[in-house]
Amino acid sequence: MKVSELVEKLGLKVYSGKTGLEKEISGGYVSDLLSDVMGFASENQIWITLQTHQNVIAIASLKDLAAVILVKGLQPAGDTLQHSEEEGIPLLGTEMAAFEIAGKLYAELNA
């Protein structure tokens, strides 16, 4: 499934990084600890987190993640938006909490 298809299916907000919307999603990773994502997330996964600062994009880019979903309606910081545009990493948002959005993502990917 492409990031753009997921955005449509789950009604996600797209804050920035639209150039990356055609990337294929291989899975998901839920964590708010950056070194945990650095050490254990895999290429093309979607990262679900509440962290909104720009280091999130630095990590997503280094790990070649498909996109980042910010939970609970949390807004990205200004430099996070800019960095996401530069790196082409879609920065997405939802009002749902991590548990709920992770469940829906899991169901979509395993449908």
Partner 1 sequence: MALKLEFNIVGGDFNLAGKASSKIKKKLVQLNIDPKMIKRIVVATYEAELNVVAHAYSGILNACFDPLFFTATVTDKGPGIEDIDKAMEAGFSTASGIVREMGFGAGMGLPNIKKNTDELKIESVVGKGTTLFFKIYY
**Binding footprint of partner 1 on the chain (CB under 8 A):** 32-36, 38-39, 43, 49, 51, 53-55, 58-59, 61-64, 79
Q: Which is nearer to partner 1, 8 or 43 (CB)?
A: 43
Which residue, 2 or 53, is less far from partner 1 as judged by CB? 53
Nearest distance in Å: CB 78, partner 1: 11
C-alpha to C-alpha distance for 80 and 18, rounded to whole angstroms: 14
Nearest CA to 20 out of 97, 92, 102, 110 is that of 92
Q: How far is the CB of 55 from partner 1 (least distance, A)?
A: 6
